[in-house]
Amino acid sequence: MTALLDSAPLGPVHYRLWILSTAGTLLSGASMVALGAGLPLLIPQFHLSPALVGLAGATLMGGTVLGALVEGRLADRFGRRPVLIGNMVWLLFSALLVALAPSAPVLVVGELLLGMGIGGDFPVGSSYISEFMPQNHRGRMMAASIALQPAGMVLTAGLALELLARTSPLPEPWRWLMAFQAVLVLPYIVARWRMPESVRWLMARGKNREAAEILGRFVPEKRLLLRRMASELGSHRHHVSRLPQERTRHWTAIFSRAYRRRTLLVTLPWFLMDIATYGVGLFTTLLLGAIHPGKGTHRLLGWDWENTLHSGVADLFLLAGALGALWLVPRFGRIQMQVWGFWGMCIGMLVLWLGNAGNWTVAAILGAFGAYNISMTLGPNATTFILPAEMYPTEVRAFGAGFAAAAAKMGATLSVFALPLLQNAAGVGTVLLAMVLVSAAGAILTYTFRVEGHGLTLEEHHGALSLLGRHRPESREDGAAKPSGGRKEES
């Protein structure tokens, strides 16, 4: 049954399920730009100090930590589908709360709840995609999912420019920008009701008849065969793990000796990437304003519009890199692209630091931002999202991905809270130099804890026995891999 799932031709059903699983990544980008572009207007309206500015961003990121941990565990226990549906209702409520916030405390609470919904959708959505996509397309479809993060950023930046450029400005334009997040949620609420449960999750729970019926939608010519398979299997649980079944089902499995190296691989580099990504991404508008020599020469809305425009241009490089990752990640592998991307981020931020010290032109500064952004989305932004969904067995896949996402968002929370304080105390140059060091550390840790493979299925990643009794090739955790005899793809 898993072989049929892995070899099914990529069709409309796959694309529909892929779209429905991408709300977290789309809203992640949209929420970051909405808050970043709205902060220059929120600061005078709510009299926000540098500490409160950091707190507003930190609660958004801190919420993602809670959401990733809680919802990942819930999805492993109760299924992917109910968590993905309930999460949309949560996100709609929290987005409206942020848009209607009458004061700074309510805004902070709303950002916390919004972050919880976004953080929870990340691991559950990535697990859902990885468990449904055919083997030869899994990496590309997951890279396409994270590509919606910069797409959400560019889309929201465009809306922000329109709101700020109106000849008759709307009252409190930041509210309309925040409300846009609720608009993005609405189609997901309606469409996710028709999502099927994950076939692999059902099989891990022994619900083979239901799994066979759903799998028949992907390979309709095999429906009779699938029904016979399900009848023979009965309630047998499909167990694929390096650990015994009872140990695998417990959340501590990801910290066991069998999976510890993988947990270090998917958590430490992602933690460092989000320090660099969210710290710079959320405050791109404010950072450009600090670097831009013309700061203070325009009225507030005009200055915010100009810096939001520059931020949107920089975000276009994020989208370009994300599109490039669709080809490069499957071609060169997750580990190699992650290492290259981190070093590219390091170089781009180093150039930006030199530009800040030398009073470069806006075009040169945007070029350095572009190099940083395109390196990020060509490599670590995609690969850190993909790897956790491939490193763990079905029984703890969503929790493992959630734990990795939570570790990453802890880095993001630390970054967005500390960055305004660091900039205020030591200047923007110190912030940029800190990002250079963080990016370099990400490259080193990725190489140190690398786990490589050659075109392995999700089951082969754990040395599973196939139904025919043949032992599938398993990835080694020492930096090498056994030849699989087929198409090679580094995991």
Q: Encode pLDDT of 53-112 as tens digits.
A: 778 777 888 899 999 999 999 999 999 999 999 999 999 999 999 999 998 889 889 999
pLDDT mean across residues, the chain: 83
Query: What tens digit of pLDDT does each residue of 326-377 get?
Result: 889 888 889 999 999 999 999 988 887 887 666 666 667 777 778 888 999 8
Query: What tens digit of pLDDT does each residue of 183-211 get?
Result: 999 999 999 999 999 999 999 999 999 99
User: pTM of the predicted model, to two decimals?
Assistant: 0.81
Cα–Cα distance measured from residue 390 to residue 397, given in angstroms and rounded to the nearest whole number: 8
Which numeric CATH code is attached to 2-462? 1.20.1250.20
- Selection from 456, 412, 467, 351 nearest residue 60 by Cα: 412
Per-residue pLDDT for 472 more than 50? no
Q: What is the DSSP letter of 465?
A: B
Query: What tens digit of pLDDT does each residue of 236-251 get?
Result: 998 888 888 888 888 8
Tokens for 439?
A: 């990016």
- Strand partners of residue 475: 481
Give the position of tokens 């450009």: 288
Cα–Cα distance measured from residue 308 to residue 314, given in angstroms and rounded to the nearest whole number: 10
Cα–Cα distance measured from residue 281 to residue 400, given in angstroms and rounded to the nearest whole number: 26
Written as one letter, the residue type at 206 is G
How many other CB atoms are found less than 10 A from the CB of residue 448? 13
Residue 130's φ and ψ, nearest 5 degrees, are -60, -35
For range 479-485, the mean pLDDT: 37
How does 148-162 read in b/e, with b if 16+ C-beta sit within 10 Å? Answer: bbbbbbbbbbebbbe
C-alpha angle 120-173-187 in degrees, rounded to nearest 5? 40
Query: What tens digit of pLDDT does each residue of 414-424 get?
Result: 887 777 777 77
For range 16-30, the mean pLDDT: 92
Residue 51's φ and ψ, nearest 5 degrees, are -65, -40
